[in-house]
Amino acid sequence: MDAQGRGRADNIDPADQWVLNPNTGEYELRLGPSAPQSSVPRPRRPGPRDGAGGPRRRKNPSTGESRETGRARGEGRETGKARGGSVPAPRSGRRRGGEPEAAQGRRASRRPVKKKSKVKKVLAWTAGGTAFVLVAIGTAGYLYLKHLEGNVTTTDVGSAAKNGFSKDDAFNILIIGTDKRTGKGNEGYGDKGSVGHADTNILLHVSKDRTNATALSIPRDLVVDVPDCETKQPDGSEKVVPGTNSARFNTSLGQDGRDPGCTMRTVQAVTGIQPDHFMMVDFNAVKTLTSAVGGVDVCLAHAVNDKESHLNLPAGKSKVEGEQALAFVRTRHSWGNQGDLDRIKVQQQFMASLMRKMSSGDTLTNPSKLIDLAEAATKALTVDKGIGKVSTLKDIALELKKVPTKNISFVTVPVIDNPADGAVHKTVIVNRTTAPAVFDAIKNDVSFTEVKKQQKAEKDAEAARLKGSRSAPSDVRVRILNGGAEAGSAQETLQWLQTQQGVLKSENAGNAGALASTTLEYAPDQAAQARELAHLMGLSGAALKPGKSVTNSQGLPAMTLTLGKDFKGAGVSLTAPSKAPAVDKSTADKVKCAS
């Protein structure tokens, strides 16, 4: 008989006897009737001893006399040989001070398990809270996580999305709200046959240090060039959907069979910012998420009775959920110029309110709301395979939860009316004067709000490297390597330095290991040369790395310039903006009334 079977002979694996109790959220040992026990006597429970290693003594209840019942510690113990092995036998289940239990139908006595309160039990399964409307998933127990994972729909968008998620880096998630009319009660909204276009689009950038985040809204009526797009077909094959020039942004999804990966590629083509992942929801998401948190507070500057969206609310503060919440974010004819841009502002206000509601104590301390929210969020989501696991979605939520709501900025892509529309302005185009600065700020992890500065010592050290005298360009001696930039970048930079900047003592040294950022390594006596080259190329102080010189092809000491993945081209400055441009924005901590 198995030495770990605790005297049972029914060939049942003890691991199979642990059963999840749904009332306590814990595993409990469930044993059936005991089989006849072995004739091999069980080892006795240790009794009082005369000393640390002395014999055990037991008192005879009949005579009152005490006698030795065992030997000194380590002597005369069961070896388990009678059980067919060398494993020490388990301790007896006999009651203290009494005779052994009957051989039939008795279970070993157990101490009563102290039950957790109902609140603690639920929180144990949903601890961690929620963070954002589309990534609001609490930490859960293993089995509950697997259950939630079954709710999430995943789409393979190939190379358009990263494989996995890093907690240590800045990240960009494209949030897509489609106008697909699937789901109960949604067939009556507008275009019943919509294939699901990209109706609402938010590129969410979360900073590396988690001090700030930027939600960049992209108008659905923005005219863009949709690039060619590789899509995965249901049978596993790949199909390239041809691009379309001068098309509305919302056609980057659904049209001609385009998937969310096509929308991600379109965002990168328009902004220069590469989304790492996507999250997509339909009409039902707004209804279920707002109901899960018990409604969202909104404010209206004037009463609204919109027959198209069915929104009917008085002026002032109201609470909306379900159908009314969906009507609120769909309404556009009641705001401003009755266009999509003013609706975007109202949607941003709604999102900020929902974020405040989910981070409030009323939600985070309510187990029922947390479970409802986790269920609603996972059922509403379609994501790329790189973040398809609920544990990964939970990690994203907890990283975003670190960002203070006052430092979450809502910004819209700067646009102007499309001249091609003539007098009737139905579409917009990117404002090429103001938009690039917004895109650059996001790409370079610059906050649109005032946040705590990085360590002063680090900043001072960077600035110090750029201060001081600079040598003449003709005195700069440098070797150039390609460490992750586009092919040909080293030669392009060499020609630019020699023909346009007068840095004649330069040479192409080939390729190097891939680097995320461009670096310039120099010896102490080359500091003046380093400052001059940094000035010419627009390198930041962080790019300058004090070290040692190397020998160039002429046998002379030279600096080493390694072009990293951030290299933008010869003559293009790599100095990140220190401050975001002034734009029309709102933050998640402020309450605004839709007007």
Nearest residue to 301 via CA among 5, 4, 2, 594: 594
Burial of 270 (0-12, 13-18, 19+ CB in 10 A): buried
What is the Cα–Cα distance from 545 to 458, expressed in whole angstroms? 13
Specify the pLDDT at position 23: 59
What are the C-alpha distances in Å from 393 to residues 47, 376, 572, 592?
Answer: 54, 14, 37, 30
List, in order, residues 6 or more apart from 205 with CB less than 8 Å away: 170, 171, 172, 213, 214, 215, 216, 273, 442, 445
Specify the pLDDT at position 139: 38
Specify the pLDDT at position 49: 45
Judge contact between 564 and 483, C-beta under 8 A. Answer: yes
| C-alpha 38, offset from chain centre | 56
Using 70 as the pLDDT threshold, list the residues of the chain that sit under it.
1-145, 181-194, 452-465, 576, 578
- H-assigned helices in 114-211: 118-126, 142-149
Q: Which two tokens stand for residue 419?
A: 């001249």
Give the domains, in start order, of the chain with CATH numbers: 125-447 (3.40.630.190), 456-563 (3.30.70)
| C-alpha 85, offset from chain centre | 51
How many other C-beta atoms are found inside a 10 Å radius of the C-beta of residue 465?
22
Q: Which two tokens stand for residue 346?
A: 């109202």
What are the C-alpha distances in Å from 435 to residues 251, 272, 372, 399, 541?
Answer: 22, 11, 40, 28, 26
What are the C-alpha distances in Å from 537 to residues 402, 459, 500, 564?
Answer: 36, 20, 12, 13
Specify the pLDDT at position 37: 46
How many other C-beta atoms are found inside a 10 Å radius of the C-beta of residue 144?
18
AA identity, residue 93:
G
Judge contact between 222 and 413, C-beta under 8 A. Answer: yes
What is the Cα–Cα distance from 347 to 120, expressed in whole angstroms? 36
What are the C-alpha distances in Å from 323 to residues 238, 288, 297, 329, 504?
Answer: 38, 9, 14, 10, 69
Buried/exposed 555-593: b ≥16 CB within 10 Å, e otherwise: eeebbbbbbbebbeebeeebeeeeebbebebbbbeeebe
> Looking up tokens 């109790």, which residue turns up?
21
Determine the 3-state secondary structure of 327 from DSSP.
Answer: helix
**Dihedral pair phi/psi, residue 238, rounded to 5°:** -115, 145
Q: Which two tokens stand for residue 151?
A: 């709710």
Number of residues assigned to the chain: 595
Counting Cα atoms < 13 Å in the Cβ hemisphere of 558 gives 22
Counting Cα atoms < 13 Å in the Cβ hemisphere of 580 gives 23
What is the Cα–Cα distance from 572 to 539, expressed in whole angstroms? 10
Judge contact between 448 and 411, C-beta under 8 A. Answer: yes
